[in-house]
Amino acid sequence: MKKDSENLDAVVSGRGVKLHYFEPSKRKVWTVVGKDNEHWLDPEIGFCSCEDYFFNVLEKGGECYHLKSVKVAKQENKVEVIKFADSEFESFISAIVSDL
């Protein structure tokens, strides 16, 4: 658990929690930059694209540190908001999918 706490602190303090906000539709895509790569997630439904999601969340009912980091970053006002035009949404999602 100490490792998760250290990872969480590093992500939040390093502004690794990002909200990609599309206008005017107000669509939101959350990403968290982890130690090895970037993961996309939906904090409202508790989903993360990391490998830990399957093992800790689905099998054990826990929560990965990426989901935890979104909560902490919101509380500490350390979310990096990046605004996009709706016309950029398709290429943004395509880039996320190609990274998987």
- In this prediction the pTM is 0.83
Write down the domain spans for the chain.
2-99
Write the DSSP string, the chain: -HHHHHHHHHHHHTT-EEEEEEETTTEEEEEEE-SSSEEEEETTTTEE-SHHIIIIIIITS---HHHHHHHHHHHTT-PEEEEEEGGGHHHHHHHHHHH-
6 versus 78: the higher-pLDDT residue is 78
Looking at residue 92, its pLDDT comes to 94
**For residue 69, is pLDDT > 60?**
yes
Averaged pLDDT, 56-75: 85
Looking at residue 3, its pLDDT comes to 64
The first and second tokens of residue 97, run together, are 């999918």
Model confidence over 71-82: pLDDT tens digits? Answer: 999 999 999 999
